[in-house]
Structure 1
């Protein structure tokens, strides 16, 4: 079986990503209610009983709202940093397993590499998931690109990448000044240009898909995001795909090299 991945939805109203390979399936984040999560899984023809575990990037509601309730309903373990578990007040839950953000681990057939990222959360991370020779990078919810991030995402076969906002649209938009500073700050979210700068530092010849995610409905524009990112991907523009809040995206698979 090839490594496959799909999104239940991406944005400030909820995020969740499914990844599966061989006999293992994991959900990264669950920012929807249990009922909505199961409905969105059904749209992807995914049977919830196949879920092996939930991975959590950080405690913000659009990523963690439904995590513990879904874990209880499906009786699956949850993996998160100690800081995230403390923030969610679930450290004592027997289903919760804390992870070291600098120590890779295995979940069934998947190799999981946590990646510490700068975000305004207790101990936020993102993940690079591997199966055989394939690597999927998930990278949203960080305020700036660090050398550590560049190093771990340099050789991926597919990348789910945040392009949250355009600085000018954010500055002119409806958010209060404090929220504008948070979103655009070093612990906030990546702008289109910051995401483009990361793409300039990775092996685009290897990457099969770049799926742009966590796009702000108030502070960004799809056409603008696409133009900014495509400008640094000459010859690879057809690899760009966009994730949305309502529909997410259907199953994609990493093809053998």
Structure 2
């Protein structure tokens, strides 16, 4: 069984917990130290429970809290070389471990497979977590799906998938034209219908839990994202959820 929960998901900050066996990993940390500890407590966890922190890319909403948390509690941090260069952070007193974006690694009881994604960062990746034959795929911060992304996510029992914005809401927003182009571009974020199309392309026959994540608070509504997801799957299920910026989502189990 794999368990997973979110401390928060959105442009203000992101962090996800993944547990299997005796191991608990944090994926990204875009919150301050005090806020991170408080959000961990809400989920019944403490920094001392973590085996380490994996990082997807160097944008602040994913990495701004990583290094203070890692240094204070002596946690190892895994990221690609490009992400490390993009962070511009000193490695003093930091247990930094550079990963290959195509090679799996084992961290305690969890097998972790990174995979590259198109996003406007130096070497961004997303991850699939495996244990006891069960797989959890995480995909946020991606401009457009690729064949490799579809292959990585096919057959997963759980998915945390970006449904970032609604095309009409983004177009009508007060954002500058350059920001709109960035968000909607090949290296930006997934629009609801594009995320739905991705769901339609991958093998969802084993899917037990789906959480829609990284929703824009200005350019999306949970109802719009849920509508796109259920249309893509062809049915509504109680295990489809939406992550919030403030609360993330509570523990879910697959396997």
Shift of 1:91: 6.5
Which residue matches 2:99?
99
Shift of 1:165: 0.4
Q: How do 1:144-223 and structure 2 match up within 5 A?
A: 144-223=144-223
CA offset digits 1:170-204 (Å, max 9, x no partner):
00012111111100000000000111011102222
How far, CA to CA, are the matches of 1:163 and 1:76 in structure 2?
30
Which residue matches 1:82?
81
Q: How do 1:1-257 and structure 2 match up within 5 A?
A: 2-90=1-89, 92-93=91-92, 94-255=94-255
CA offset digits 1:194-239 (Å, max 9, x no partner):
1101110222221001100000011111111111111111235333
CA offset digits 1:19-44 (Å, max 9, x no partner):
11111111000000011000000001
Shift of 1:3: 1.2
Q: Is the 8 A contact 1:90 1:96 kept in 2?
A: no
How far, CA to CA, are the matches of 1:214 and 1:235 in structure 2?
22
Gaps spanning 5+ residues in structure 1: where? none
Shift of 1:47: 2.4
Count of matched residue pairs: 254
Shift of 1:159: 0.1
Q: Is the 8 A contact 2:155 2:205 kept in 1?
A: no
How far, CA to CA, are the matches of 1:104 and 1:205 in structure 2?
24
Gaps spanning 5+ residues in structure 2: where? none
Segments of 4+ moved more than 4 angstroms:
none
How high is the TM-score relative to the length of structure 2? 0.97
Q: How much is the aligned-residue C-alpha RMSD, in angstroms?
A: 1.1
How far, CA to CA, are the matches of 1:207 and 1:81 in structure 2?
29
Shift of 1:164: 0.2
Q: Is the 8 A contact 1:82 1:91 kept in 2?
A: no
Shift of 1:254: 0.8
Q: How has the CA–CA distance of structure 1 residues 115 and 91 changed in structure 2, closer, same or farther, with 3 Å as cutoff?
A: farther
